[in-house]
Amino acid sequence: LESSLLTQPWASVCFGESSFLAKACFRDTGYILLISDLSSVWYESADVEVVGQRSKELNKRLTVPVSSFLHRLRNLVCPLLAGQPDTATSFSCHHIAGGLSLHVKSELSGLPFYWDFHCCPAPVEMVSRHLVRPLIQMSLALQYQVQGLTSLLLQKDAEIEDYRESGATLSRDRLRTEPFREETFQQNFMAEVRSSAS
Q: What is the pLDDT of residues 136-188, one digit of tens each?
A: 999 999 999 999 999 999 999 999 888 888 988 888 888 888 888 888 888 88
Q: Are 59 and 110 in contact (CB under 8 A)?
A: no
The predicted-structure confidence for 83-137, as pLDDT tens digits, reads as follows 888 888 899 999 888 899 999 999 887 889 999 999 999 999 999 999 899 889 9
Give me the phi and psi of 3, to 5 degrees please: -65, -35
What domains sit in the chain, N to C, each tagged with a CATH number? 1-122 (2.170.210.10), 128-197 (1.10.287.450)
Residue 1 has a CB neighbour count (10 Å cut-off) of 15
